């Protein structure tokens, strides 16, 4: 998945099994790097790969439940909402993602679904 550049619309970025459970992959896009996470229960999330605090690479953080901890300053980001856990305040952009027949697809903001 690394190095793939997306422009618009739904695009297959790989298979669910390409992303380790409690891990992430990074996809380059026209809006910047997107971190695609796979939770232990196989739920998939996609958010911008930039912590709202100091821009840390969330894809390199520790995934726990449906959250990721930023590797720079331990901010916890809810992968479903994109919101930082209290007492921290901030939000990352969420990217529409779906899994069909084991394939992971992303849709960029403003793209036709």
Q: Has residue 70 been placed in a domain?
A: yes
Q: Has residue 44 been placed in a domain?
A: yes
Q: How many domains does the chain have?
A: 1
Q: How distant is the alpha carbon of residue 42 from its chain centre?
A: 13
Q: Which residues contact 89 (CB under 8 A, 6 or more apart)?
A: none
Q: Has residue 93 been placed in a domain?
A: yes
Give residue-wise pLDDT tens across range 34-63.
999 999 999 999 999 999 999 999 999 999
- Domain span including residue 31: 5-107
Q: CATH code at 70?
A: 2.102.10.10
Rg (CA), the chain: 13
pLDDT for 91 equals 97
Q: Has residue 16 been placed in a domain?
A: yes
């Amino acid at each position: 998945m690394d190095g793939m550049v997306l422009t618009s619309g739904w695009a297959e970025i790989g298979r669910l099994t390409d992303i380790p459970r409690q891990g992430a992959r990074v996809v380059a896009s026209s809006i910047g790097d997107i971190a695609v996470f796979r939770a232990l229960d196989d739920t998939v999330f996609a958010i911008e790969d930039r912590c709202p605090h100091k821009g840390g690479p969330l894809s390199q953080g520790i995934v726990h439940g449906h959250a990721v901890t930023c590797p720079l300053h331990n901010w916890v980001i809810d992968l479903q909402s994109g919101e930082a856990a209290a007492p921290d305040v901030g939000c990352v952009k969420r990217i529409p993602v779906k899994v069909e027949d084991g394939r992971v697809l992303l849709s960029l903001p403003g793209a036709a679904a």
